[in-house]
């Protein structure tokens, strides 16, 4: 509520507390990852390390293979997934946005039904494992996220509201076919919506662990999130990672607690670093998604 120049200090205090509550769990994990293991075992997870130690990170560097591999899987799946998904989504949205497309109504209903009714986990699981046989392949991590009804609708809305139909008409009068129009007029003009939706798809691929949980057994295909999930829930899995790193050395107690938290930090770190730059688009995407759907 306007006209006053200074903000009520009480409001700043309350908001600061909320902000703190959002950040402080990360701080706890960070602290444990850089604490001396014996200190952690004696005192528990604290917000301030009494004795710094980067041994956990040394372990992870020693056996960087597992993590680097998981990073590789995640990056590959995300990059391929996002590019393919943006293409499929925008192509479908473009057809849907053309008023002269005879199947426009039917296609809308076709998309709408996917947003209203779901067959459930079991049939979905059987389609991928018994019909397509893609379990334990990277395709199982890529295909399920490629298309979503909401994204198609949001893009179609962008195409119909932000690209003047006269532009398409004049391109077609100049002899451009539908493909040409799509590639050289629609796509270049849709960078804003592509960036927003692309970011959302990126985050959902990057954060995905569910499809790995359901479809992946092969340790070589563990994505970063699923590797973390395994390390958290399965103590022996954490132990094997630690063993791989220091199989020959005489170190008796392995810093399992700090290794575990260091792994989380290795995954969170890059994300938190890029977040401030992406936040603007992220927020924009959230509000766009809310306006329609």
Partner 1 sequence: MASVEVLEANAAVTRTKTRKGKLWKHRSLLILALPGILLMFINNYLPMFGIFLAFKDLNYTEGIWGSKWIGLNNFKFLFASNDAWRIIRHTIFYNLAFLVINTVLAIFLAILLNEVKNRVLSKFFQSTIILPNFISMVIVGYLVFGFLNPELGFVNKFILEPLGYEPVNWYAAPEHWSYILTIVNAWKNVGYAAILYLAAIIGIDQEYYEAALIDGAGRWKQMTKITIPLIAPVIIVLTLLAIGRIFNADFGLFYQATMASGMLKETTDVIDTYVYNALLVTGDTGLASSAGLLQSVVGFVLIISVNLIVRKFSKENALF
* Nearer CB in complex with partner 1: 55/111: 111
Q: Which of 34, 36, 40, 63 binds partner 1 (CB under 8 A)?
A: 40
9 binds partner 1 (CB under 8 A): no
Q: Does the footprint of partner 1 cover residue 7 (CB under 8 A)?
A: yes
Question: Looking only at residues 128 through 167 of this chain, which bind partner 1 when binding is defined by CB under 8 A?
Answer: 130-132, 143-144, 146-147, 149, 152
> Using CB under 8 A, which of the segments 53-61, 236-244, 245-253, 272-280 binds partner 1?
272-280
Identity of the residue, 40 or 245, whose beta carbon is nearer to partner 1 in the bound complex = 40
Output the smallest distance, CB 251 to partner 1, in A: 20
In angstroms and rounded to an integer, the radius of gyration of the C-alpha atoms of the chain is 24
Q: Which is nearer to partner 1, 175 or 250 (CB)?
A: 175
With contacts defined by CB under 8 A, how many residues of the chain interact with partner 1? 108
Chain positions 211 to 270 lying near partner 1, rule: CB under 8 A, are 213-214, 225-226, 228-229, 232-233, 257, 260-261, 264, 267-268
Closest CA to 255 of 109, 53, 48: 53
Q: DSSP H helical segments within the chain, as ranges?
A: 9-33, 37-43, 55-62, 64-97, 104-116, 121-126, 139-142, 149-162, 165-173, 178-181, 187-189, 191-206, 210-215, 224-233, 235-245, 256-291
Residues 6+ away with beta carbon under 8 Å from 81: 141, 142, 145, 146, 201, 205
Q: Which of 62, 75, 80, 95 binds partner 1 (CB under 8 A)?
A: 95
Task: Determine the Cα–Cα distance for residues 136 and 142; give it in Å rounded to an integer.
Answer: 12
Return the closest-CA partner of residue 66 out of 209, 263, 256: 263
Interacting positions 170-189 with partner 1 (CB under 8 A) = 177-179, 182
């Amino acid at each position: 509520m306007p006209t006053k120049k200074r903000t009520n200090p009480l409001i700043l205090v309350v908001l600061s507390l909320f902000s703190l509550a959002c950040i402080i769990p990360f701080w706890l994990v960070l602290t444990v990852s850089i604490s001396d293991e014996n200190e952690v075992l004696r005192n528990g997870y604290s917000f301030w390390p009494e004795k710094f130690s980067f041994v956990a990170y040394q372990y992870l560097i020693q056996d960087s293979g597992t993590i680097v591999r998981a990073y590789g899987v995640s990056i590959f799946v995300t990059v391929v997934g996002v590019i393919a998904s943006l293409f499929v989504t925008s192509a479908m949205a473009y057809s849907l946005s053309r008023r002269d497309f005879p199947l426009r109504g039917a296609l809308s209903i076709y998309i709408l039904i996917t947003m209203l009714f779901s067959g459930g986990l079991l049939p979905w699981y059987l389609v991928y494992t018994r019909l397509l046989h893609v379990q334990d392949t990277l395709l199982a991590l890529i295909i399920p996220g490629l298309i979503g009804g909401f994204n198609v609708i949001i893009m179609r809305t962008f195409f119909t509201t932000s690209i003047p139909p006269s532009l398409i008409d004049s391109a077609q009068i100049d002899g451009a076919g539908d493909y040409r129009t799509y590639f050289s007029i629609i796509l270049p003009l849709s960078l804003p919506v592509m960036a927003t939706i692309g970011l959302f798809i990126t985050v959902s691929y990057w954060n995905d662990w569910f499809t790995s949980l359901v479809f992946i057994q092969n340790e070589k295909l563990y994505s970063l999130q699923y590797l973390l999930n395994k390390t958290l829930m399965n103590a022996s899995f954490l132990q094997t990672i630690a063993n791989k790193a220091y199989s020959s050395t005489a170190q008796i107690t392995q810093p399992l607690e700090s290794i575990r938290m260091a792994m989380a930090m290795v995954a969170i770190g890059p994300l938190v670093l890029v977040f401030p730059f992406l936040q603007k688009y992220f927020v924009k995407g959230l509000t766009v998604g809310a306006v329609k759907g």
